[in-house]
A and B are shown apart, each in its own frame.
Chain A
């Protein structure tokens, strides 16, 4: 005979916890986002203008694009610390080719190839040689940018071309190409994540790699493939970065990867992987974007900027943890449950 919960009161309390937990989990961040909006709007009337919104999106377009890729990395229980450096290196490659040929299209092509090549290299080290992704991408973070700096002797390479101008100056209905690319990145990411094997196995890798191997999935190959795809996002990021700067700058995109990781996590994707969605990343990116933009339109200088940003992130994380705790206490007991192992 199935034995039910000891009292109805206990059941009721259980349900209350679940409801609060679910609510906080799903809407907690949106609430904070709304609060942020309100604060910034009140303090600075310039915040709520369409111009500012477009600027907000444009300033954080690279972040958004990279965050899509980072979502894949985190869902599969990996991490990628290199995208910022890869963008820089591939833009440098692009710049060098442009200086040599004067033709924008082969330059872009070469940049794309460079980005994907570096990520594939990382992928092989992680997938085939089994080295911890933190170390591999940490090393890449260092050597990739280092290479870029050496190639240009720390100078920027100016890139003047109508395509670049197009990216920068064109607007259609208030939407500019970088914003379109955000959409492209998310759409592409969503498709791969939800409709393809790569996406499905990304979840498998993060959920239970042993079960994945048992099911006959070639985990090494898919890890490599996934990192290669991260290269695609880095390439997109390269295009936007070069356009906004009008040059290939070896000191660009510092801190990008950290922002990206924070965006993905704050949006609600667990760091331990196995589950997650781009919808959550989108919210997280918006959060960071609004934070970045709001603080700078407030005229915050570096220190306050960092301090408040860090504090807000910690608070948001705190709520996330609370909601997880509430949900966990109320979960039905089952053989297959989440393993909570902080990385």
Chain B
């Protein structure tokens, strides 16, 4: 990188120092989200001796992995101004296909994974085409695919009486092992986030995504391939959902008909908690990671404290409500 601090510009500002500052403040720009995470960790950590134990942290990270990956894909779609309600079903179908191929058709792990992910991307492609080319609202289209794809997934599961056991070595390894104290699943999630963040910030594709989300008409008039980029965003969402589905299959050890049910809403919750606006054009994928962290930590805490399962659903709902109100207040103030 050129050291611009020494180069005179028409503007005359020292650049190097500002660049570093900009990167950090980029993440911290939404102080509230980071502050909330810190506060949550502190509060929970102090009020429960188990919360911060290494085992529990590993547990939290594992739980974060699946929703986190979904949230990353969802962020992509939200940034261009759309939404994808079908990801929960894609989670099912990718796991179902991969599991079945390994179990019944003697596929090796990697080819089976490839097929599963291809199918996931195909669903994303279908979504993208219907939304952009046929100009049907994203909510409606992804609702339709939610229903249809879940059906397809469940149909595939019938081959094995609705339960596909996942015992392949690769999957078991990924589920159980750690790399540098980090459960592999969580590590994969972090890697995906890093890749997404870099793509969004440092590549042309990322630039286009923000431009389209920020002002689609201006992007169009600047000659950007708007339709193509939006479709790609949906394909990516499908891909990420497919990855999440495989991680889930590894973690649970089995794929059943209700896998992934309702997960799209978890993903949306994580995105909203992270502070990304659903209207598009603004937000960072890292924020969704924070949102996922908050969501999972809260649920984990409730579980540790023995608060029954059933309260957890309400708490999630209240969380998202609280997040919105806080954001509103912050914006007004």
CB interface residues, A 304-335, toward B, < 8 Å: 304-311, 313-314, 317-318, 321
Per-residue interface assignment for chain A, residues 112 to 135, with 1 indicating a CB less than 8 Å from any chain B CB and 0 otherwise: 000000000000010001111011
Interface residues on A, range: 35 or more
A247 within 8 A of partner (CB): no
Decide if A306 touches B310 in the complex (CB within 8 Å).
Answer: no
**Cβ contact of B328, chosen from A129, A311, A342, cutoff 8 A:** A129
A141: chain B residues within 8 A (beta carbon): 265, 317
Instruction: Compute how far the CA of A321 lies from the CA of B151 in the bound complex, rounded to whole angstroms.
Output: 24
A298 within 8 A of partner (CB): no
B313: chain A residues within 8 A (beta carbon): 142-143, 145-146, 149-150
B60 within 8 A of partner (CB): no
Residue of A nearest to B317 (CB): A143
A302 within 8 A of partner (CB): yes
Instruction: Compute how far the CA of A136 lies from the CA of B317 in the bound complex, rounded to whole angstroms.
Output: 10
A139: chain B residues within 8 A (beta carbon): 317-318, 320-321, 324
B131 within 8 A of partner (CB): yes
B265: chain A residues within 8 A (beta carbon): 138, 141-142
Tell me, rounded to whole Å, the shortest Cβ–Cβ distance linking B16 to chain A: 41
A31 within 8 A of partner (CB): no
Decide if B317 touches A144 in the complex (CB within 8 Å).
Answer: yes
CB interface residues, B 291-333, toward A, < 8 Å: 308-318, 320-321, 324-325, 328
Instruction: Compute how far the CA of A146 lies from the CA of B131 in the bound complex, rounded to whole angstroms.
Output: 32
A98 within 8 A of partner (CB): no
Per-residue interface assignment for chain A, residues 250 to 274, with 1 indicating a CB less than 8 Å from any chain B CB and 0 otherwise: 0000000010011001000001100
**Cβ contact of B136, chosen from A129, A135, A145, A321, cutoff 8 A:** A321
A321: chain B residues within 8 A (beta carbon): 134-136
Decide if A150 touches B257 in the complex (CB within 8 Å).
Answer: no
Given A135-B320, A138-B265, A306-B154, check contact A317 B144 (CB 8 Å).
yes
- Interface core residue of B135, B136, B158 (most chain A CB under 10 Å): B136
Instruction: Compute how far the CA of A41 lies from the CA of B302 in the bound complex, rounded to whole angstroms.
Output: 52
A140 within 8 A of partner (CB): yes
**Cβ contact of B155, chosen from A125, A147, A154, A307, cutoff 8 A:** A307
Instruction: Compute how far the CA of A249 lies from the CA of B326 in the bound complex, rounded to whole angstroms.
Output: 33
Decide if B328 touches A131 in the complex (CB within 8 Å).
Answer: yes
Residue of A nearest to B258 (CB): A302
Count A/B pairs, Cβ under 8 Å. 145
Decide if B150 touches A306 in the complex (CB within 8 Å).
Answer: yes
B318: chain A residues within 8 A (beta carbon): 139, 143
A195 within 8 A of partner (CB): no
Decide if A146 touches B137 in the complex (CB within 8 Å).
Answer: no
**Cβ contact of A317, chosen from B140, B151, B269, cutoff 8 A:** B140
B311: chain A residues within 8 A (beta carbon): 146, 150
Decide if A314 touches B144 in the complex (CB within 8 Å).
Answer: yes
Given A141-B265, A150-B311, A343-B139, check contact A314 B321 (CB 8 Å).
no
B211 within 8 A of partner (CB): no
Tell me, rounded to whole Å, the shortest Cβ–Cβ distance linking A101 to chain B: 25
CB interface residues, A 257-298, toward B, < 8 Å: 258, 261-262, 265, 271-272
B315: chain A residues within 8 A (beta carbon): 146
A4 within 8 A of partner (CB): no
Residue of B nearest to A270 (CB): B137
Tell me, rounded to whole Å, the shortest Cβ–Cβ distance linking A221 to chain B: 19
B122 within 8 A of partner (CB): no
Given A307-B151, A314-B130, A321-B134, check contact A146 B145 (CB 8 Å).
no
Instruction: Compute how far the CA of A142 lies from the CA of B152 in the bound complex, rounded to whole angstroms.
Output: 26
Given A139-B324, A147-B314, check contact A272 B151 (CB 8 Å).
no
Extra pairs beyond A141-B317, A313-B144 (5, CB < 8 Å): A131-B328, A146-B312, A154-B310, A258-B146, A271-B137
